[in-house]
Homo-oligomer: A and B are copies of this chain.
């Protein structure tokens, strides 16, 4: 979905994150896609408008945004980190062929819990579910 400057300004302000051209470009690129890009994908995309941007700025910014709760990291095994501008609670489908990651918005999955007998004394704060398989194109 399209993101205007005013909305961007509001979101950053709300989380006390300084707004710079680089941050605006990185966050916008991420918020406007559902593809869960890597840091380098974002670097390549943002570089078109900001040829001097450094990879470090991308990593640093993603760290700041993640800390502020504006962005999520999605890790699939030990592959390179993927980022997600969708911070609503949701889970993922992962294609073993093309490595694409697709959102699953499913209330039942969000409400998943472990039976008390299995909790082993843990105080549970959250959970993550990923389904693995082959997408339509890779089957």
Contact = CB atoms under 8 A, between A and B. Distances in A.
A114 B93 contact: yes
Provide the main secondary structure of the chain A interface. Answer: mixed
Given A122-B133, A122-B134, A124-B133, A106 B96 contact: no
A109 B104 CA distance: 17
A127 B121 CA distance: 24
A59 to B, nearest CB: 13
A134 B120 CA distance: 10
B112 A122 contact: no
A86 B115 CA distance: 21
Interface stretch (A13-21, A47-55, A73-81): A73-81
A9 interface: no
Give the interface size bracket for A toward B.
35 or more
B73 A102 contact: no
A133 B128 CA distance: 12
A131 B124 contact: yes
B75 A96 contact: no
B77 A77 contact: no
9 contacts: A75-B77, A93-B118, A93-B122, A93-B124, A104-B114, A109-B112, A122-B134, A126-B133, A128-B129
